[in-house]
Amino acid sequence: MRILLLNQFFWPDAARTGELLADLAQRLVDDGCSVTVVCGRSPYVQTRQTEMASVQVLRAPVLPFRKGISARVLSYFSYLLLALWHSFRQARPDIVVTLTTPPLLSVIGALAKRLRGCRHIIWEMDVYPDVAVDLGVLRPDSWLTRVLTAIANTARRRADGIIVLGNCMRQRLIDQGISAEKIHVVENWADGELIRARAPKSRNGTLSVLYSGNLGRAHDVETICAVMEKLKDDERFHFTFAGFGGRRPGLQDFCTRRGIPNVSFQPYCEREELGDVLAGADIGLVTQRAECLGALVPSKIYGLMAAARPILFIGPRKSTADQVLSRHDCGWQVDCGDADSAVNLLLNFAESPDVLRHAGERGHRAFLHEYDRHIGTARIAAILGVALPARARAVAASAASNGKNGHFAPSNGNGHINGIPKKPNGHVGTGRVWQSKSES
Protein backbone atom coordinates (compact mmCIF):
# COMPACT_ATOMS: atom_id res chain seq x y z
CA MET A 1 0.00 0.00 0.00
CA ARG A 2 1.32 3.44 -0.96
CA ILE A 3 0.74 6.14 1.63
CA LEU A 4 1.54 9.84 1.24
CA LEU A 5 1.93 11.88 4.44
CA LEU A 6 1.76 15.68 4.28
CA ASN A 7 2.88 18.05 7.04
CA GLN A 8 5.27 20.98 7.07
CA PHE A 9 7.27 19.49 9.95
CA PHE A 10 8.80 16.05 10.09
CA TRP A 11 11.62 14.34 11.93
CA PRO A 12 14.26 15.50 12.76
CA ASP A 13 12.36 18.75 13.42
CA ALA A 14 11.43 18.78 17.10
CA ALA A 15 7.89 20.05 16.50
CA ARG A 16 5.50 17.65 18.20
CA THR A 17 3.49 17.09 15.02
CA GLY A 18 6.68 16.04 13.24
CA GLU A 19 7.55 13.55 15.97
CA LEU A 20 4.11 11.96 15.94
CA LEU A 21 4.10 11.75 12.16
CA ALA A 22 7.53 10.10 12.24
CA ASP A 23 6.22 7.51 14.69
CA LEU A 24 3.33 6.73 12.36
CA ALA A 25 5.55 6.63 9.27
CA GLN A 26 7.90 4.14 10.87
CA ARG A 27 4.97 1.99 11.99
CA LEU A 28 3.50 1.94 8.48
CA VAL A 29 6.87 0.98 6.98
CA ASP A 30 7.22 -1.82 9.54
CA ASP A 31 3.78 -3.05 8.49
CA GLY A 32 4.86 -3.29 4.85
CA CYS A 33 3.65 0.02 3.42
CA SER A 34 5.52 2.26 1.01
CA VAL A 35 5.59 5.64 2.73
CA THR A 36 6.42 9.05 1.28
CA VAL A 37 6.52 12.21 3.37
CA VAL A 38 6.39 15.71 1.90
CA CYS A 39 7.58 18.26 4.44
CA GLY A 40 9.53 21.51 4.56
CA ARG A 41 13.25 22.08 4.85
CA SER A 42 12.81 24.97 7.24
CA PRO A 43 13.29 23.64 10.80
CA TYR A 44 10.94 24.41 13.66
CA VAL A 45 13.57 23.38 16.20
CA GLN A 46 16.29 21.24 14.63
CA THR A 47 17.53 18.18 16.49
CA ARG A 48 20.78 16.29 15.98
CA GLN A 49 19.00 13.23 14.61
CA THR A 50 19.40 12.00 11.04
CA GLU A 51 16.78 11.05 8.48
CA MET A 52 14.64 7.96 8.99
CA ALA A 53 15.56 4.82 7.10
CA SER A 54 13.01 3.22 4.75
CA VAL A 55 10.85 6.37 4.55
CA GLN A 56 11.07 8.51 1.41
CA VAL A 57 11.25 12.09 2.66
CA LEU A 58 10.84 14.97 0.20
CA ARG A 59 11.85 18.25 1.82
CA ALA A 60 10.46 21.27 0.00
CA PRO A 61 12.56 24.47 0.18
CA VAL A 62 9.95 26.56 1.97
CA LEU A 63 10.38 30.03 3.41
CA PRO A 64 11.72 30.04 7.00
CA PHE A 65 9.24 29.44 9.81
CA ARG A 66 9.85 32.45 12.05
CA LYS A 67 8.16 34.48 14.73
CA GLY A 68 5.38 36.80 13.66
CA ILE A 69 2.11 36.16 11.89
CA SER A 70 3.24 37.51 8.51
CA ALA A 71 6.38 35.36 8.43
CA ARG A 72 4.43 32.25 9.35
CA VAL A 73 1.73 32.88 6.76
CA LEU A 74 4.39 33.24 4.06
CA SER A 75 6.06 30.05 5.23
CA TYR A 76 2.71 28.25 5.21
CA PHE A 77 1.85 29.37 1.68
CA SER A 78 5.27 28.41 0.33
CA TYR A 79 4.85 24.91 1.74
CA LEU A 80 1.29 24.55 0.44
CA LEU A 81 2.39 25.35 -3.11
CA LEU A 82 5.36 23.00 -3.04
CA ALA A 83 3.38 20.25 -1.29
CA LEU A 84 0.77 20.47 -4.04
CA TRP A 85 3.50 20.17 -6.68
CA HIS A 86 5.18 17.19 -5.05
CA SER A 87 1.87 15.45 -4.29
CA PHE A 88 0.99 15.25 -7.97
CA ARG A 89 4.49 14.34 -9.17
CA GLN A 90 4.60 11.12 -7.15
CA ALA A 91 3.13 7.79 -8.14
CA ARG A 92 -0.54 7.72 -7.25
CA PRO A 93 -0.89 6.88 -3.54
CA ASP A 94 -3.61 4.68 -2.14
CA ILE A 95 -4.07 7.02 0.82
CA VAL A 96 -3.16 10.64 1.48
CA VAL A 97 -2.94 11.69 5.12
CA THR A 98 -2.88 15.43 5.78
CA LEU A 99 -2.10 17.02 9.13
CA THR A 100 -2.87 20.63 10.03
CA THR A 101 0.46 22.40 9.63
CA PRO A 102 -0.12 24.54 7.75
CA PRO A 103 -3.84 25.24 8.12
CA LEU A 104 -5.97 24.16 5.15
CA LEU A 105 -3.46 21.49 4.14
CA SER A 106 -6.51 19.24 3.90
CA VAL A 107 -7.43 21.05 0.67
CA ILE A 108 -4.48 19.37 -1.05
CA GLY A 109 -5.69 16.01 0.21
CA ALA A 110 -9.17 16.76 -1.12
CA LEU A 111 -7.72 17.65 -4.54
CA ALA A 112 -5.65 14.46 -4.59
CA LYS A 113 -8.74 12.41 -3.80
CA ARG A 114 -10.79 14.08 -6.51
CA LEU A 115 -8.16 14.11 -9.25
CA ARG A 116 -6.17 10.96 -8.47
CA GLY A 117 -8.79 8.68 -6.96
CA CYS A 118 -7.01 8.03 -3.65
CA ARG A 119 -8.49 7.98 -0.17
CA HIS A 120 -8.00 11.03 2.03
CA ILE A 121 -7.67 11.01 5.82
CA ILE A 122 -7.35 14.24 7.84
CA TRP A 123 -5.38 14.05 11.07
CA GLU A 124 -6.53 17.11 13.00
CA MET A 125 -3.76 18.24 15.33
CA ASP A 126 -5.46 21.63 15.71
CA VAL A 127 -8.83 22.76 14.42
CA TYR A 128 -8.44 25.68 12.01
CA PRO A 129 -9.49 28.41 11.65
CA ASP A 130 -11.01 27.94 15.10
CA VAL A 131 -7.68 28.24 16.91
CA ALA A 132 -6.98 31.58 15.25
CA VAL A 133 -10.43 32.83 16.24
CA ASP A 134 -10.09 31.58 19.83
CA LEU A 135 -6.74 33.36 20.18
CA GLY A 136 -8.03 36.63 18.75
CA VAL A 137 -6.03 36.47 15.52
CA LEU A 138 -9.23 36.37 13.45
CA ARG A 139 -12.60 37.93 14.25
CA PRO A 140 -15.34 35.30 14.49
CA ASP A 141 -17.71 37.29 12.26
CA SER A 142 -15.21 38.43 9.62
CA TRP A 143 -15.56 37.48 5.97
CA LEU A 144 -12.12 35.87 6.08
CA THR A 145 -13.12 33.61 8.95
CA ARG A 146 -16.29 32.57 7.15
CA VAL A 147 -14.38 31.77 3.95
CA LEU A 148 -11.66 29.79 5.75
CA THR A 149 -14.26 27.85 7.76
CA ALA A 150 -16.20 27.00 4.62
CA ILE A 151 -13.06 25.76 2.86
CA ALA A 152 -11.91 23.69 5.85
CA ASN A 153 -15.32 22.10 6.40
CA THR A 154 -15.74 21.31 2.72
CA ALA A 155 -12.50 19.34 2.81
CA ARG A 156 -13.64 17.61 6.00
CA ARG A 157 -16.97 16.58 4.50
CA ARG A 158 -15.25 15.15 1.43
CA ALA A 159 -12.59 13.26 3.40
CA ASP A 160 -12.88 9.52 3.93
CA GLY A 161 -12.11 9.92 7.61
CA ILE A 162 -11.02 12.44 10.22
CA ILE A 163 -8.76 11.60 13.15
CA VAL A 164 -9.12 13.87 16.17
CA LEU A 165 -7.20 13.95 19.45
CA GLY A 166 -10.09 13.80 21.90
CA ASN A 167 -13.83 13.95 22.45
CA CYS A 168 -13.75 17.73 22.93
CA MET A 169 -12.28 18.12 19.44
CA ARG A 170 -14.75 15.60 18.04
CA GLN A 171 -17.66 17.57 19.51
CA ARG A 172 -16.39 20.84 18.05
CA LEU A 173 -16.41 19.35 14.56
CA ILE A 174 -19.85 17.81 15.07
CA ASP A 175 -21.14 21.22 16.14
CA GLN A 176 -19.94 22.54 12.78
CA GLY A 177 -21.98 19.95 10.90
CA ILE A 178 -19.31 17.30 10.29
CA SER A 179 -20.73 13.78 10.35
CA ALA A 180 -19.89 11.90 13.54
CA GLU A 181 -19.64 8.70 11.51
CA LYS A 182 -16.38 9.73 9.86
CA ILE A 183 -14.69 11.08 13.01
CA HIS A 184 -12.28 8.76 14.86
CA VAL A 185 -10.84 9.66 18.26
CA VAL A 186 -7.19 8.65 18.64
CA GLU A 187 -5.41 10.39 21.47
CA ASN A 188 -1.74 11.25 21.14
CA TRP A 189 0.96 9.12 22.71
CA ALA A 190 4.50 9.08 24.04
CA ASP A 191 7.36 6.67 23.41
CA GLY A 192 7.66 4.27 26.31
CA GLU A 193 11.05 3.08 25.08
CA LEU A 194 12.52 6.58 25.37
CA ILE A 195 10.62 7.70 28.48
CA ARG A 196 10.64 5.18 31.29
CA ALA A 197 9.21 5.34 34.77
CA ARG A 198 11.81 6.16 37.40
CA ALA A 199 11.58 6.54 41.13
CA PRO A 200 11.40 10.18 42.25
CA LYS A 201 14.78 11.66 43.07
CA SER A 202 15.66 12.74 46.58
CA ARG A 203 13.75 15.97 47.09
CA ASN A 204 15.94 17.58 49.75
CA GLY A 205 12.87 19.43 50.92
CA THR A 206 12.14 20.98 47.48
CA LEU A 207 9.13 20.19 45.30
CA SER A 208 10.12 20.41 41.62
CA VAL A 209 7.37 21.66 39.29
CA LEU A 210 8.21 21.17 35.59
CA TYR A 211 6.73 22.69 32.45
CA SER A 212 8.27 20.91 29.45
CA GLY A 213 7.63 21.84 25.83
CA ASN A 214 6.22 24.70 23.83
CA LEU A 215 4.79 27.68 25.70
CA GLY A 216 2.70 29.45 23.11
CA ARG A 217 -0.35 31.61 22.65
CA ALA A 218 -2.76 28.78 23.45
CA HIS A 219 -1.26 28.23 26.90
CA ASP A 220 -2.36 29.93 30.12
CA VAL A 221 0.67 31.83 31.40
CA GLU A 222 -1.18 34.30 33.61
CA THR A 223 -2.22 31.68 36.17
CA ILE A 224 1.32 30.28 36.26
CA CYS A 225 2.67 33.76 36.97
CA ALA A 226 0.18 34.25 39.79
CA VAL A 227 1.13 30.92 41.34
CA MET A 228 4.86 31.66 41.22
CA GLU A 229 4.26 35.12 42.66
CA LYS A 230 2.48 33.61 45.64
CA LEU A 231 5.20 31.01 46.22
CA LYS A 232 8.32 33.00 45.38
CA ASP A 233 9.41 33.25 49.01
CA ASP A 234 8.76 29.58 49.77
CA GLU A 235 11.99 27.61 49.41
CA ARG A 236 10.05 24.33 49.28
CA PHE A 237 9.20 24.94 45.61
CA HIS A 238 11.20 25.25 42.42
CA PHE A 239 9.70 25.86 38.97
CA THR A 240 11.49 24.74 35.80
CA PHE A 241 10.50 25.63 32.24
CA ALA A 242 12.16 23.48 29.57
CA GLY A 243 11.54 24.34 25.93
CA PHE A 244 10.57 27.57 24.27
CA GLY A 245 7.58 29.20 22.55
CA GLY A 246 6.16 32.62 21.88
CA ARG A 247 5.13 33.32 25.47
CA ARG A 248 8.30 32.14 27.18
CA PRO A 249 10.24 35.44 26.81
CA GLY A 250 7.37 37.26 28.51
CA LEU A 251 7.38 34.72 31.34
CA GLN A 252 11.13 35.14 31.81
CA ASP A 253 10.73 38.91 31.87
CA PHE A 254 7.98 38.59 34.47
CA CYS A 255 10.19 36.47 36.71
CA THR A 256 13.03 38.97 36.40
CA ARG A 257 10.87 41.99 37.14
CA ARG A 258 9.19 40.33 40.11
CA GLY A 259 12.40 38.96 41.49
CA ILE A 260 11.24 35.34 41.55
CA PRO A 261 14.27 33.33 42.68
CA ASN A 262 12.91 29.77 42.62
CA VAL A 263 12.63 29.39 38.85
CA SER A 264 14.96 28.20 36.10
CA PHE A 265 14.73 28.06 32.31
CA GLN A 266 16.18 25.35 30.07
CA PRO A 267 16.28 25.00 26.27
CA TYR A 268 14.62 22.30 24.19
CA CYS A 269 16.13 18.88 24.72
CA GLU A 270 16.60 16.01 22.33
CA ARG A 271 13.75 13.52 22.28
CA GLU A 272 16.11 10.90 23.69
CA GLU A 273 16.87 13.23 26.61
CA LEU A 274 13.26 13.99 27.51
CA GLY A 275 13.04 11.08 29.92
CA ASP A 276 15.89 12.51 31.98
CA VAL A 277 14.23 15.93 32.07
CA LEU A 278 10.87 14.53 33.17
CA ALA A 279 12.50 12.28 35.77
CA GLY A 280 13.82 15.35 37.55
CA ALA A 281 10.31 16.60 38.31
CA ASP A 282 7.95 15.77 41.15
CA ILE A 283 4.93 17.01 39.21
CA GLY A 284 4.37 18.14 35.64
CA LEU A 285 2.57 21.36 34.72
CA VAL A 286 0.30 21.49 31.66
CA THR A 287 -1.83 24.47 30.62
CA GLN A 288 -4.47 25.33 28.04
CA ARG A 289 -6.47 28.51 27.61
CA ALA A 290 -10.15 27.92 28.28
CA GLU A 291 -11.32 29.45 25.02
CA CYS A 292 -9.34 26.81 23.08
CA LEU A 293 -11.48 23.94 24.36
CA GLY A 294 -11.89 21.48 21.50
CA ALA A 295 -9.63 23.41 19.13
CA LEU A 296 -6.48 21.69 20.38
CA VAL A 297 -5.41 19.04 22.89
CA PRO A 298 -2.20 19.26 24.96
CA SER A 299 0.05 16.29 24.25
CA LYS A 300 2.41 16.94 27.18
CA ILE A 301 0.34 14.78 29.52
CA TYR A 302 1.31 11.52 27.80
CA GLY A 303 5.04 11.97 28.29
CA LEU A 304 4.48 12.75 31.96
CA MET A 305 2.36 9.62 32.33
CA ALA A 306 5.12 7.58 30.67
CA ALA A 307 7.57 8.99 33.22
CA ALA A 308 5.20 8.16 36.10
CA ARG A 309 4.84 11.81 36.99
CA PRO A 310 1.51 13.26 38.14
CA ILE A 311 0.03 16.27 36.37
CA LEU A 312 -1.32 19.63 37.44
CA PHE A 313 -3.50 20.79 34.55
CA ILE A 314 -4.51 24.44 34.43
CA GLY A 315 -7.19 24.51 31.80
CA PRO A 316 -10.84 23.96 30.93
CA ARG A 317 -13.10 21.33 32.39
CA LYS A 318 -14.43 18.71 29.98
CA SER A 319 -11.25 19.02 27.91
CA THR A 320 -9.46 15.85 26.86
CA ALA A 321 -6.65 16.54 29.32
CA ASP A 322 -9.17 16.91 32.14
CA GLN A 323 -10.93 13.69 31.13
CA VAL A 324 -7.68 11.71 31.01
CA LEU A 325 -6.65 12.87 34.49
CA SER A 326 -10.09 12.16 35.89
CA ARG A 327 -10.45 8.78 34.21
CA HIS A 328 -7.08 7.52 35.39
CA ASP A 329 -6.83 9.40 38.68
CA CYS A 330 -3.36 10.67 37.84
CA GLY A 331 -3.58 14.42 38.29
CA TRP A 332 -5.59 17.50 39.14
CA GLN A 333 -7.47 20.07 37.10
CA VAL A 334 -7.63 23.74 38.07
CA ASP A 335 -9.62 26.37 36.20
CA CYS A 336 -7.69 29.09 34.41
CA GLY A 337 -7.33 32.06 36.73
CA ASP A 338 -7.80 30.03 39.91
CA ALA A 339 -4.27 30.47 41.23
CA ASP A 340 -5.40 30.00 44.84
CA SER A 341 -6.52 26.40 44.19
CA ALA A 342 -3.26 25.62 42.42
CA VAL A 343 -1.25 27.07 45.30
CA ASN A 344 -3.28 25.13 47.87
CA LEU A 345 -2.66 21.91 45.97
CA LEU A 346 1.08 22.53 45.80
CA LEU A 347 1.24 23.36 49.50
CA ASN A 348 -0.56 20.10 50.22
CA PHE A 349 1.84 18.15 48.01
CA ALA A 350 4.84 19.63 49.79
CA GLU A 351 3.52 18.18 53.03
CA SER A 352 2.36 14.85 51.55
CA PRO A 353 4.70 13.86 48.69
CA ASP A 354 3.38 10.27 48.63
CA VAL A 355 0.20 11.67 47.10
CA LEU A 356 2.23 12.57 44.02
CA ARG A 357 4.00 9.22 43.85
CA HIS A 358 0.76 7.24 43.92
CA ALA A 359 -0.86 9.45 41.29
CA GLY A 360 2.20 9.08 39.06
CA GLU A 361 2.08 5.30 39.38
CA ARG A 362 -1.59 5.26 38.36
CA GLY A 363 -0.79 7.42 35.36
CA HIS A 364 2.03 5.12 34.30
CA ARG A 365 -0.22 2.04 34.48
CA ALA A 366 -2.75 3.81 32.27
CA PHE A 367 0.02 4.82 29.86
CA LEU A 368 1.15 1.24 29.41
CA HIS A 369 -2.39 0.14 28.52
CA GLU A 370 -3.54 3.09 26.41
CA TYR A 371 -0.96 5.68 25.41
CA ASP A 372 2.32 4.00 24.44
CA ARG A 373 3.62 4.64 20.93
CA HIS A 374 2.87 1.20 19.49
CA ILE A 375 -0.74 1.42 20.70
CA GLY A 376 -1.46 4.84 19.22
CA THR A 377 0.16 4.11 15.88
CA ALA A 378 -1.70 0.78 15.63
CA ARG A 379 -5.01 2.60 16.10
CA ILE A 380 -4.26 4.96 13.22
CA ALA A 381 -2.99 2.10 11.05
CA ALA A 382 -6.29 0.33 11.65
CA ILE A 383 -8.23 3.41 10.54
CA LEU A 384 -6.11 3.57 7.39
CA GLY A 385 -6.93 -0.08 6.69
CA VAL A 386 -3.33 -1.25 6.86
CA ALA A 387 -2.93 -5.02 7.30
CA LEU A 388 -1.32 -5.37 10.69
CA PRO A 389 0.93 -8.14 11.97
CA ALA A 390 -0.38 -10.48 14.63
CA ARG A 391 1.19 -8.49 17.49
CA ALA A 392 -1.13 -5.55 16.76
CA ARG A 393 -4.41 -7.21 15.79
CA ALA A 394 -5.92 -6.93 19.25
CA VAL A 395 -5.19 -3.22 19.34
CA ALA A 396 -6.52 -2.78 15.83
CA ALA A 397 -9.74 -4.56 16.74
CA SER A 398 -10.15 -2.22 19.70
CA ALA A 399 -9.56 0.77 17.46
CA ALA A 400 -12.08 -0.40 14.88
CA SER A 401 -14.80 -1.03 17.45
CA ASN A 402 -14.30 2.01 19.68
CA GLY A 403 -12.49 4.64 17.65
CA LYS A 404 -15.65 6.57 16.80
CA ASN A 405 -17.01 6.99 20.28
CA GLY A 406 -14.01 8.14 22.23
CA HIS A 407 -11.52 6.14 24.22
CA PHE A 408 -10.31 2.62 23.71
CA ALA A 409 -9.62 0.76 26.93
CA PRO A 410 -11.67 1.32 30.06
CA SER A 411 -9.79 2.62 33.04
CA ASN A 412 -9.21 0.42 36.04
CA GLY A 413 -9.23 3.55 38.20
CA ASN A 414 -11.22 3.58 41.39
CA GLY A 415 -12.94 6.89 40.74
CA HIS A 416 -11.03 8.66 43.49
CA ILE A 417 -8.47 11.38 43.82
CA ASN A 418 -5.86 10.51 46.43
CA GLY A 419 -8.14 7.84 47.88
CA ILE A 420 -11.11 10.18 48.53
CA PRO A 421 -14.17 10.27 46.24
CA LYS A 422 -13.72 12.94 43.61
CA LYS A 423 -15.74 16.05 43.35
CA PRO A 424 -17.99 15.57 40.27
CA ASN A 425 -15.83 15.18 37.14
CA GLY A 426 -12.67 15.09 39.25
CA HIS A 427 -12.26 18.85 39.39
CA VAL A 428 -10.66 20.92 42.09
CA GLY A 429 -13.02 23.48 43.53
CA THR A 430 -11.96 26.96 44.50
CA GLY A 431 -9.75 26.82 47.55
CA ARG A 432 -10.44 23.12 48.13
CA VAL A 433 -7.75 20.46 48.45
CA TRP A 434 -8.74 16.80 48.25
CA GLN A 435 -6.34 14.79 50.35
CA SER A 436 -6.17 11.08 50.97
CA LYS A 437 -6.48 9.69 54.45
CA SER A 438 -4.39 6.71 53.43
CA GLU A 439 -1.72 8.64 51.51
CA SER A 440 -1.33 11.81 53.57
Q: Quick one: pLDDT at residue 14?
A: 72
Torsion-angle region of residue 32: left (phi > 0), alpha (psi -120 to 50) or beta? left
DSSP state of 404: T
Instruction: Please tell me the distance from the alpha carbon of residue 251 to that of residue 133, in angstroms, as a whole number.
Output: 23
Nearest by Cα to 417 from 331, 342, 349: 331
pLDDT tens sequence across 246-294: 899 999 999 999 999 999 999 887 778 888 999 999 999 999 999 999 9
- pTM of the predicted protein model: 0.84
Residue pair 279/201 in contact (Cβ under 8 Å)? The answer is: yes
CB-count exposure of residue 246 (10 Å: 0-12, 13-18, 19+): middle
Domain boundaries, the chain: 2-185, 207-367+411-426
- Count other Cβ atoms within 10 Å, centred on residue 251: 23
Q: Which of 403, 401, 439, 406 is nearest to 420 (CA)?
A: 439
pLDDT digits (tens, 9 = 90+) for 101-119: 999 999 999 999 999 999 9
- ∠ CA 253-222-233, nearest 5°, is 65
Q: Give the containing element (helix H, strand E) for 368.
A: helix 354-370
Grouped pLDDT means (10 residues each) for the chain, 440 residues? 94 85 95 94 55 82 72 84 89 95 94 95 97 94 96 97 97 97 97 90 84 94 97 95 92 96 90 88 96 96 96 97 97 97 96 94 97 96 78 49 41 31 35 27
| Architecture per CATH, 207-367+411-426 | 3-Layer(aba) Sandwich (3.40)
Return the CATH number of the domain spanning residue range 2-185. Answer: 3.40.50.2000
- What local confidence, expressed as pLDDT, does residue 87 receive? 87
pLDDT at 416: 30
